[in-house]
Structure 1
Amino acid sequence: MEMADLCAAAANSEERKVLATVVYVDGHAYRKEGALMLLGEQGSIWGSISPGCLESDLLACGETVLRSGKIERVPYDMRPEDDFSWGENIGCGGLLHIVLEPVTGELEQVMHEMHLRFLAGERVMLTRRYDWDSGTAEYELDGMAELQEASPWPEVYSRAYEGKPRLILFGAGEDAMPVCRLAAGIGFRVTVADWRKAMLTADRFPGAELVYGFPAELFALLDITSSDYVLLMSHQFQREKEFLALLQDAECAYLGIMGSRDRTARLTQELAMPMALYSPVGLAIGADGPEEIAVSIAAELIAVRREKQLVQPKGAARYEVSRNSARSRTQYAHGM
């Protein structure tokens, strides 16, 4: 889970909670610096910091934090020379420093405000100033991030957080269902759009926003922005052609098209498509069938979101298609 999920949980549950943040990592760890989770007083857990080996201990520490109302520093040294002495023999090989903060008072108000702003699609900078001696913290939203070298127990901790990016699935066919499920699981807010109303049901796409209409109607309703991810997988050539014609002047973070390279070339012929075009969609993992293809697509979405270069296996094809437009060349990454 990311901060947007945790703020939503904090806003929608009456259970008292503790926010756990990994502020420092040395060596290998299951999660990176910045990882978050919420610990509930009744044993509820939102998110994760480890594969499950630290959570029970963190819950016990969280009870102490809720009783005292003070922030706590919790180190876990799982490097080989110290792992056995710690007692769990986890073997992760890293040092983690975790800060536990009671979600009360100022922090509770801050997380509630962040929740509302995430719903509005805003990006939020949160700065925490820790007073380790008194066990208290001060919180500031939208201040300038204070540059500071990595510190085992930082006095100032600034990070930018964003709401869930939206993934728009154009097409509500059978193969869109596992994509919807996996995308929701990796932190996307999924919208499924189609002109076939009978296919747009909550049973088929639980938790997704369902938007009905033909391409021109959908384009007006969706209000696509530069932070949206768009995936065309209706398998209906003419409908996708109509939608792409409308989309060519919009900006989005990702545009994926299901199908062969030749099909995509015909779809985009004479259109000025954005450089963020991926087709065939998905990473080249040899996927076969809807479930595996959905995995390859989810992996590609993660890579794009994390701004990682998509490295293709040896022999994978990459090619460029000329366009009669200012954006004269569109690069396609070989997918499945």
Structure 2
Amino acid sequence: MRELRDILAGWHALSERGERGVLASVVFASGSTYRRPGARLLVMPDDQMIGLLSGGCLEGDLLEHAGRVRLGNHPERIRYDATGDDDIVWGLGLGCAGIVDVLLEPVEADRPGPLAWLEAWLDARRTGAFATDLSEDGLARRWARHPDGRIEGSEPAPAGLARLLEETVASGRTRRSQQDDLDLVLEIARPPRRLVVFGAGPDADPVVRLAALLGWDVSVVDGRPAYARSERFPDAVVHCVAPEEAVRAVGVDDQTYALVMTHHYLHDRAVLADLLLSPVPYIGLLGPKQRASDLLAELATQGVVPSEEEAARLHAPAGLDIGGEGPEAIAVALIAEVQAVAEGRPGTWLRDRKGPIHEPGEI
């Protein structure tokens, strides 16, 4: 999500200067590839690149194609096929045994491609979806399904497209559909992950910085004015609120991930009581297991008794077991666990994963 924000900033810079750039988007991927459909890169007029589509093996070649697209003012679709053994010798030397299709299209102030839609949904923290035509005759035609269900496009939407976009939102995945003379890639655009850190001690700083680096929306909550200061956390929204009011003040929903790290038993208890009754999918609590057990036992005497499913959201101690010490290493363990939970992954070795890294059906 940080990458998208950087691309949007680049597009605004182009628009203000009246210049034309080239947006490169992965629209198809098969086999082993560095990025999946939805990854984007913006090529500026001076050949500066914002974003990344590969580990660096495609970008040089993409620059050449982007120059032609910018001058010709027409979109192009390029295929990189690394499935053959001779690619390493004669081709780009990818050695990834995958296929990647990249759509290159000119973008400027009055021709934003999908960027204006993505920005609007990002700002509103709402989920949208859009379809891009990859057929030769209609390359880069697009239609969007806005969060309110409204369909928008440069021309009337083909029959059945509204249903396809609704199904894309429901599935939560980018999809492919080929019918009649259309070859569509249907992308879902979800709001950035939201992390609320309860506690503004010194160890919260690397947590906030790392989450912001990933493009997450971050809030920090603490009842101590000396700690809850915006200048300490420039990448977060800071709230100075008492623990008993913290959860209600910051507002949480089923897209919010919570880390409780006040390092104060009574404060943790107050925050935990409200979080257990909220719809948040993840509650990370710092401290030993026994401390968490004691907190839950005390909350039970107050009538806060989560169901087995509700209690499963609590991760205490929080974080993956990576053997790190110190604030930075602990932050890595915490953020990695949030990432794994949010994506429904176990946080184990990739080498032990059965099957491909990406789930089947992710085109």
Q: Shared fold by TM > 0.5?
A: yes
Task: Give secondary structure in 1 for the equivalent of 2:202.
Answer: coil
Q: Which amino acid aligns with 2:305?
A: A
Q: Which amino acid aligns with 2:5?
A: D
Query: Is contact 1:7–1:112 with CA below 8 Å preserved after alignment?
Result: no
Quick one: which of 225, 231, 241 aligns to 1:213?
241
Q: Which amino acid aligns with 1:196?
A: R
2:357 paired residue number: none
Give the Å deviation of 1:241: 0.8
- Seen in structure 2, the aligned counterparts of structure 1 residues 168 and 120 have a Cα distance that, compared at 3 Å, is same
Task: Give secondary structure in 2 for the equivalent of 1:51.
Answer: coil
Quick check: 88-97 or 120-129, which moved more? Answer: 88-97
Q: Which amino acid aligns with 1:204?
A: R
2:184 paired residue number: 156
- Seen in structure 2, the aligned counterparts of structure 1 residues 32 and 249 have a Cα distance that, compared at 3 Å, is same
Question: Given the alignment of the two structures, is residue 145 of structure 1 paired with residue 170 of structure 2, yes or no?
Answer: no
Question: Given the alignment of the two structures, is residue 175 of structure 1 paired with residue 175 of structure 2, yes or no?
Answer: no
Q: Which amino acid aligns with 2:125?
A: G
1:115 paired residue number: 119
Query: Is contact 2:176–2:186 with CA below 8 Å preserved after alignment?
Result: no
Q: Deviations over 1:300-335 (max 9, x none)?
A: 1221121223559xxxxxxxxxxxxxxxxxxxxxxx
- Seen in structure 2, the aligned counterparts of structure 1 residues 148 and 254 have a Cα distance that, compared at 3 Å, is same
Question: Given the alignment of the two structures, is residue 278 of structure 1 paired with residue 283 of structure 2, yes or no?
Answer: no
Counterparts of 1:1-336 in structure 2 under 5 Å?
A: 1=1, 4-5=4-5, 8-9=8-9, 12-14=12-14, 16-79=20-83, 80-86=85-91, 88-104=92-108, 108=112, 110-133=114-137, 135-142=139-146, 143-145=162-164, 148=176, 155-269=183-297, 270=300, 271-273=304-306, 274=310, 275-310=312-347
Q: Which amino acid aligns with 1:9?
A: A
Q: Extract unaligned runs of 5+ from structure 1.
A: 313-336
Query: Is contact 2:34–2:53 with CA below 8 Å preserved after alignment?
Result: yes
Quick check: 103-112 or 11-20, which moved more? Answer: 103-112
Cα distance in 1 for residues equivalent to 2:96 and 2:130: 29
Cα distance in 2 for residues equivalent to 1:136 and 1:168: 38
- Seen in structure 2, the aligned counterparts of structure 1 residues 71 and 254 have a Cα distance that, compared at 3 Å, is same
Give the Å deviation of 1:231: 0.5
Task: Give secondary structure in 2 for the equivalent of 1:32.
Answer: coil
Give the Å deviation of 1:105: 7.2
Cα distance in 2 for residues equivalent to 1:195 and 1:264: 21
Q: Name the one with the larger helix percent.
A: 2
- Seen in structure 2, the aligned counterparts of structure 1 residues 244 and 186 have a Cα distance that, compared at 3 Å, is same
Cα distance in 2 for residues equivalent to 1:21 and 1:192: 34
Give the Å deviation of 1:256: 0.7
Cα distance in 2 for residues equivalent to 1:247 and 1:162: 23
Give the Å deviation of 1:125: 0.9
Q: Deviations over 1:170-216 (max 9, x none)?
A: 01112111111111222311111111222234453232111111123
Give the Å deviation of 1:262: 1.0
How many residues matched? Answer: 309
Task: Give secondary structure in 1 for the equivalent of 2:34.
Answer: coil
Task: Give secondary structure in 2 for the equivalent of 1:238.
Answer: helix
Task: Give secondary structure in 2 for the equivalent of 1:145.
Answer: helix
Cα distance in 2 for residues equivalent to 1:272 and 1:36: 45
2:171 paired residue number: none
TM-score, with structure 2 as normaliser: 0.76
Task: Give secondary structure in 2 for the equivalent of 1:159.
Answer: strand
Q: Percent identity?
A: 30
Q: Deviations over 1:66-101 (max 9, x none)?
A: 222221112223343222212x43433322211112
TM-score, with structure 1 as normaliser: 0.82
Cα distance in 2 for residues equivalent to 1:149 and 1:137: 14
Q: Extract unaligned runs of 5+ from structure 2.
A: 147-161, 166-174, 350-363
Cα distance in 2 for residues equivalent to 1:198 and 1:308: 38
Query: Is contact 1:10–1:112 with CA below 8 Å preserved after alignment?
Result: no
